[in-house]
């Protein structure tokens, strides 16, 4: 007897749970009839959604939960385009595009689109691959007007085709460089880039885009390990251990430390937070061109630095932040000096006709590239973003080792050249 009571309870609970599940499934899944108020608003009103509830139910379901759907934005607002649009085609009596571009978003989001177009996430990201080859004259003009395009005397050139891009060629680059850099690819309708790279369709969720994984899709790996550095930082630890309790859905511009007690990539680089307004111009809080071989100051460097520090100051004291920046600037100077040393060695070999000036034609050219592109960059990024292991063991130490290799290899090349044994 004593054993049977719990058994009845178990069976009873199972029946209740299954009944609740069935009720839940019937009321929450997208179906022809449309059960929630949200789906009901589509049925009949939005012809696309009515039919697509059968064709692609997940898309309708996902979209129905978005803020935009709740504000009355319909499928056709993004997908239906003018007859002259080169990206459009006929579809069930409509003229639609299957890849809405910023041109469609801009009808309602003028400010975000303009900021995005004036950031390095737009034109410059694609220029980094093929120069201006794929740009219309208007797209080229827009891109040239970006403040953050100026690099100072030591910047790496971008308006030319990238040597690695051409070396790897079309069998590789569509699945590699192009996938990430398409965030700024010029579109045939005249617009630039793809908002969808961060605002994943069809939820367009703020909670999602504020989390570091969204940025980490592209900002990872040995040449730009921002995702890994963030994971190592105290901020990343707070996010990983307590982030599930934070208020991710707070309205744009209203975020404070009460919502997010530690910052994510978006908080520092984009979000309206404390006194700083939201921006899609991701360069406006950066003071140096850290991605360049030798890092120089950005056009509005000092002002940008104050903007970023304004974000830090919501949670830290001024002396603390001053200290972080002083230590990071010092790492940057150290790296700059070592990269310049390596560059001088390579330039000397070219000048003396020991190696060709063509990039990646000799082993030493690859080695000198890794020196700044992997180790130098990593050390600099990590110094500003709180990743000591990346400053040290993934940054400065391998950089010094690599510099030593470049020096020894250059000496060998010179000796071979003198003896006439170099092919």
Tokens of 218: 């592209």
If one asks whether residue 162 binds ligand HEC (CB under 6 A), the answer comes out as yes
Side-chain half-sphere CA neighbours of 297 within 13 A: 7
If one asks whether residue 209 binds ligand HEC (CB under 6 A), the answer comes out as yes
Q: In the complex with ligand HEC, which residue's Cβ is closer, 161 or 417?
A: 161
If one asks whether residue 124 binds ligand HEC (CB under 6 A), the answer comes out as yes
CB of 149 to ligand HEC, least distance (A): 9
* Residues between 278 and 337 with contacts to ligand HEC, criterion CB under 6 A: 278, 280, 282-283, 286-291, 305, 308, 311-312, 314-316, 321, 324
Binding residue for ligand HEC (CB under 6 A) from 14, 16, 107, 407? 107
Q: Is 161 exposed, middle or buried (CB count within 10 Å of its CB: 0-12, 13-18, 19+)?
A: middle
Q: Compute the distance between CA of residue 415 and CA of residue 420 in angstroms, rounded to an integer.
A: 8
Torsion on CA atoms 248, 251, 252, 256, rounded to nearest 10: -60
Q: Is 251 exposed, middle or buried (CB count within 10 Å of its CB: 0-12, 13-18, 19+)?
A: exposed
Return left, alpha or beta for 251; rule: phi > 0 is left, psi -120 to 50 is alpha, else beta: beta
Q: Which of 337, 323, 350, 322 is nearest to 417 (CA)?
A: 350
Q: Is the peptide bond before 202 cis (omega within 30 degrees of 0)?
A: yes
Q: In the complex with ligand HEC, which residue's Cβ is closer, 143 or 413?
A: 143
CB of 343 to ligand HEC, least distance (A): 16
Size of the site for ligand HEC (CB under 6 A): 121
Q: Compute the distance between CA of residue 297 and CA of residue 185 in angstroms, rounded to an integer.
A: 26
Binding residue for ligand HEC (CB under 6 A) from 81, 215, 335, 345? 215
Binding residue for ligand HEC (CB under 6 A) from 81, 87, 183, 293? 183
CB of 57 to ligand HEC, least distance (A): 10
If one asks whether residue 204 binds ligand HEC (CB under 6 A), the answer comes out as yes
Q: In the complex with ligand HEC, which residue's Cβ is closer, 384 or 403?
A: 384
Q: In the complex with ligand HEC, which residue's Cβ is closer, 201 or 358?
A: 201
Tokens of 102: 């910023």
If one asks whether residue 339 binds ligand HEC (CB under 6 A), the answer comes out as no
Side-chain half-sphere CA neighbours of 194 within 13 A: 20
Q: In the complex with ligand HEC, which residue's Cβ is closer, 265 or 331?
A: 265
- Contact (CB, 8 A) for 395 and 333: no
* Residues between 224 and 283 with contacts to ligand HEC, criterion CB under 6 A: 224, 226-227, 230, 234-235, 238, 252-253, 255, 257, 260-272, 278, 280, 282-283
**What backbone phi and psi angles, to 5 degrees, belong to 398?**
-60, -30
Q: Compute the distance between CA of residue 123 and CA of residue 139 in angstroms, rounded to an integer.
A: 8
Q: In the complex with ligand HEC, which residue's Cβ is closer, 301 or 354?
A: 301
Q: In the complex with ligand HEC, which residue's Cβ is closer, 155 or 354?
A: 155
Q: In the complex with ligand HEC, which residue's Cβ is closer, 125 or 371?
A: 125
Binding residue for ligand HEC (CB under 6 A) from 185, 210, 338, 394? 210
Q: Is 399 exposed, middle or buried (CB count within 10 Å of its CB: 0-12, 13-18, 19+)?
A: buried
CB of 236 to ligand HEC, least distance (A): 8
If one asks whether residue 176 binds ligand HEC (CB under 6 A), the answer comes out as yes
Binding residue for ligand HEC (CB under 6 A) from 68, 307, 350, 354? 68
Residues found in the chain: 423
CB of 410 to ligand HEC, least distance (A): 25
403's CB contacts (< 8 A; 6+ apart) are 338, 341, 342, 371
Binding residue for ligand HEC (CB under 6 A) from 156, 159, 307, 350? 156
Binding residue for ligand HEC (CB under 6 A) from 131, 190, 216, 359? 216
């Amino acid at each position: 007897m004593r054993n049977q009571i719990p058994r009845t309870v178990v069976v009873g609970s199972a029946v209740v749970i299954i009944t609740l599940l069935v009720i839940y499934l019937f009321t929450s899944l997208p179906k022809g009839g449309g059960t929630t108020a949200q789906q009901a608003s589509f049925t009949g009103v939005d012809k696309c959604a009515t039919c697509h509830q059968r064709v692609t139910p997940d898309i309708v379901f996902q979209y129905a939960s978005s803020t935009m759907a709740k504000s009355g934005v319909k499928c056709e607002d993004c997908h239906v385009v003018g007859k002259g649009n080169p990206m459009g085609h006929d579809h069930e009596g409509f003229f639609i595009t299957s890849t809405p571009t910023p041109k469609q978003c801009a009808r309602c989001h003028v400010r975000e689109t303009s900021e995005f177009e004036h950031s390095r996430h737009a034109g410059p990201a694609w220029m980094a691959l093929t120069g201006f080859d794929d740009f219309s004259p208007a797209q080229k003009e827009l891109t040239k007007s970006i403040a953050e395009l100026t690099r100072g005397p030591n910047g790496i050139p971008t308006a030319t085709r990238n040597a690695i891009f051409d070396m790897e060629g079309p069998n590789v680059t569509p699945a590699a460089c192009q996938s990430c850099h398409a965030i700024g690819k010029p579109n045939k309708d005249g617009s630039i880039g793809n908002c969808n790279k961060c605002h994943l369709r069809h939820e367009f969720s703020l909670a999602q885009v504020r989390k570091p994984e969204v940025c980490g899709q592209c900002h990872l790996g040995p040449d730009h390990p921002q995702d890994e550095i963030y994971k190592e930082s105290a901020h990343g630890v707070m996010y990983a251990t307590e982030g599930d309790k934070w208020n991710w859905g707070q309205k744009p511009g209203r975020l404070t430390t009460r919502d997010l007690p530690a910052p994510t990539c978006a908080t520092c680089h984009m979000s309206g937070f404390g006194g700083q307004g939201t921006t899609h111009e991701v360069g406006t809080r950066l003071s140096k061109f850290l991605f360049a071989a030798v890092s120089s100051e950005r056009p509005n460097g000092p002002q940008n630095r104050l903007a970023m520090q304004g974000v830090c100051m919501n949670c830290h004291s001024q002396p603390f932040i001053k200290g972080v920046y002083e230590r990071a600037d010092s790492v940057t100077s150290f790296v700059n000096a070592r990269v310049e040393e390596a560059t001088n060695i390579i330039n000397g070999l070219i000048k003396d006709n020991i190696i060709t000036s063509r990039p990646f034609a000799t082993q030493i050219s690859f080695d000198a590239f890794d020196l700044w592109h992997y180790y130098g960059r990593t050390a600099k990024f990590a110094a500003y973003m709180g990743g000591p292991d990346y400053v040290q063991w993934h940054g400065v130490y391998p950089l010094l080792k690599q510099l030593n290799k470049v020096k020894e290899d250059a000496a060998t090349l010179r000796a071979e050249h003198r003896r006439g044994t170099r092919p």
